[in-house]
């Protein structure tokens, strides 16, 4: 029986096939999914913010794009995965509210997406597919067996990338 492992906001979890990883209700947050098809092993981080360096409280590494990708890499190495074969799929980074005045809430999704791309590149993980931006929420299920990332939305369809 396949188990679905729930990943909450600002969390990182790992799974070995046939288990899958799920994170619900991604808005401006981004789900970073990394897997090694040869090992049927994957990680999913639900990040909230682009950078830990601007934060006064950065001990939760899964909360920030920069530290989360490092944490993913650590997990891969710890679990004996050949890191040269890794690839990533990312989803989220939406802008949920149309107008919020001067608030920084405006472009947080876009800043998250840029930061995730930048830091995955920094540690040498290729992005195989992405579904970012827009103004709608996403619930994602990542299958480390196939590397498929299934995306559900409300009113914006379903797709697998």
Give the shortest CB-125-to-another protein separation in angstroms: 23
Pick 81 or 91: Cβ nearer another protein: 91
Do residues 132 and 92 make contact, with C-beta atoms less than 8 angstroms apart? yes
By CB under 8 A, name the binding residues for another protein. 8-11, 24-29, 48-49, 54-57, 60, 63, 94-101, 103-105, 108-109, 135-139, 152, 154
Which is catalytic among the residues 7, 29, 88, 151?
29
Pick 49 or 149: Cβ nearer another protein: 49
Percentage helix, strand, coil for the chain under 3-state DSSP, each rounded to 5:
25, 35, 40
Residue located via tokens 């799974």? 15
Pick 40 or 139: Cβ nearer another protein: 139
Give the shortest CB-26-to-another protein separation in angstroms: 6
Give the shortest CB-1-to-another protein separation in angstroms: 22
Task: Determine whether 29 is an active site residue.
Answer: yes
**CA separation (Å) from 81 to 8, 36, 124, 156?**
24, 7, 14, 35
Do residues 27 and 137 make contact, with C-beta atoms less than 8 angstroms apart? yes
Residue numbers annotated as active site: 29
């Amino acid at each position: 029986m396949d188990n679905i492992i729930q990943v909450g906001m600002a969390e990182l979890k790992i799974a070995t096939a046939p288990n899958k990883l799920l994170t619900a209700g991604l808005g401006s947050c981004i789900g970073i999914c990394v897997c090694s098809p040869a090992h049927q092993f994957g990680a999913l981080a639900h990040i909230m913010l682009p950078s830990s360096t601007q934060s006064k409280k950065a001990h939760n590494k899964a909360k920030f794009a920069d530290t989360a990708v490092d944490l993913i890499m650590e997990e891969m190495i710890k679990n004996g995965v050949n890191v040269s074969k890794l690839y990533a799929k990312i989803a989220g980074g939406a802008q949920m509210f149309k107008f919020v005045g001067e608030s920084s809430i405006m472009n947080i999704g876009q800043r998250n997406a840029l930061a995730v791309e930048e830091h995955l590149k920094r540690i040498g993980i290729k992005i195989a597919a992405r579904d970012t931006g827009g103004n709608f929420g996403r619930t994602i299920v990542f299958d480390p067996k196939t590397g498929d990332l299934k995306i559900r939305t409300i009113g914006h369809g379903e797709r697998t990338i």
